Amino acid sequence: MIKRKWWSLTSLAVGVTMIAGLVAGCGGSPSATESKDIKIGGNFELTGGVATFGQSAANGIKLAFKEINAAGGVLGKQLVFVAADNKSEPSESTNATTKLITQDKVVAILGAVASTNTLAAVQVASDNKIPLITPTSTNPKVTVDNGKVRDWVFRSCFIDPFQGTVMASFASKSLKAKTAAILTDNSSDYSKGLTQVFEESFAKAGGKVVSKEAFLQKDQDFKATLTKIKAANPDVIFIPAYYEEVGRIVKQARELGITTPLIGTDGWDSPKLVEIAGAQPLENTYFSNHYSPEDKDPKVVKFVESYKKEYGQTPDALAALGYDAALMVADAIKRAGAADPAKIKDALAQTKNLQLVSGIITLDADHNPIKSAAIIEMKDGKQVFKEKVNP
């Protein structure tokens, strides 16, 4: 009897504790609408293979939030950026997203940089109904899965089909190339997607792909593969990959006597590219990008000046796109009228004629921006704005 009574009292105590915990969980701490701050998560490659990309994008976001907060914030609240390092790995990207949502209680997430890492995060964000904006992931699958739009996922960059088409057109029209070789990173969704689009677009323009080779991320020696490509004697070599491997490929290609124009995409955009490849080997190379710091548009000029003042260096496209993604989420929260994930998601989908550093954007039905692209030429180890391509 005593034992039974003790059990009853214990059960009652546990029940009271559980109820108290539930009450605390529901209302014991300030909700997103009651808090003085609005937490925005950042899932970025702060270390690992594409760390300079993640750091640039995060720097752009921090600058945007600093300026927005100095001007009074959004809805009278300060924006707080909570960054998590995905270490440039898909599994860590999933973990970082989970942490930001469950522990940090963010109302939206910016990131990741690489398409593979963003794809590893989208399901977690969608399942938890938290809007995700990637500044830089260009693979179409990020926002559309098997023909169905991912309701909670958006981006501030153009997508691979546009970028691949731009470079195929540039190769055939500006470089007068009739034949091309493609060197693909088979460990990257980004690279494989661009390869497919470039090959199809180049063929439509009357060109012919005479050699297709592949490598894996973190490979060091590309000379055997480049020797095969050299034997095919293409007019141009398309390398849709990230700066670390691209730098080694460019350096080794020139060492083998390959003087052919080398072209690529926004994955080339890093100060590390020149450090790895060298200025001379990068002569006669071109890549598509989201903006140029040489653009004389007043918004670009102001951004470049502010970024240089804050970080002591010229902002690359990753920084500009991070800055733009921050402006997108701030604009959406303002139009939503509340720091509520569902309302932010709906406002993001309605983004129209928003003036950003990388251009005026309107999101299409697939949550992709309609915007222009820049062609960058490498000269004396520096990026030179060559031409602009409109959609």
Confidence band of 19 (pLDDT split at 50, 70, 90): very low
> 161-289 adopts what CATH topology?
Rossmann fold (3.40.50)
Does position 377 have pLDDT exceeding 50, yes or no? yes
Domain ranges of the chain: 37-158+295-371, 161-289
**Nearest to 266, CA basis, from 191, 206, 204:** 191
pLDDT in tens, 192-249: 999 999 999 999 999 999 999 999 999 999 999 999 999 999 999 999 999 999 999 9
- Mark residue 233 as left, alpha or beta (left: phi above 0; alpha: psi -120 to 50; beta: remaining): left
Q: Return the C-alpha torsion angle 158, 160, 163, 166, nearest 10.
A: -130
Q: Return the C-alpha torsion angle 89, 98, 160, 194, nearest 10.
A: 30
What does the pLDDT read at residue 189? 87
Least reliable range by pLDDT among 131-135, 265-269, 334-338: 265-269
The rounded mean pLDDT for the chain is 91
Place of tokens 């940090």: 104
Does position 31 have pLDDT exceeding 60, yes or no? no
What does the pLDDT read at residue 6? 35
What does the pLDDT read at residue 296? 86
Q: Which residue would you say has higher pLDDT here, 7 or 88?
A: 88
Does position 391 have pLDDT exceeding 70, yes or no? no
pLDDT in tens, 64-73: 999 999 999 9
Helices 243-255 and 223-232, packing angle to 10 deg: 60
Token representation of residue 250: 């460019």
Pair type for strands 37-44 and 262-264:
unpaired
User: One-letter amino acid identity for 363?
Assistant: L
Confidence band of 11 (pLDDT split at 50, 70, 90): very low
Q: Residue 369: in which H helix or E strand, if any?
A: strand 369-370
CA–CA distance, 39 with 199 (Å, rounded to integer): 42
Q: Which residue would you say has higher pLDDT here, 156 or 6?
A: 156
Asked if 43 and 109 count as a contact pair (C-beta separation under 8 A), the reply is yes
> Same topology for domains 37-158+295-371 and 161-289, yes or no?
yes
Does position 83 have pLDDT exceeding 70, yes or no? yes
CATH classification for the domain delimited by 37-158+295-371, as one of 3.90.105.10, 1.10.10.60, 3.90.226.10, 3.40.50.2300: 3.40.50.2300
Q: What is the pLDDT averaged over residues 156-171? A: 92
Q: Which residue would you say has higher pLDDT here, 329 or 24?
A: 329
Does position 326 have pLDDT exceeding 90, yes or no? yes
What does the pLDDT read at residue 34? 64
Confidence band of 316 (pLDDT split at 50, 70, 90): very high
Q: What is the pLDDT averaged over residues 296-320? A: 95
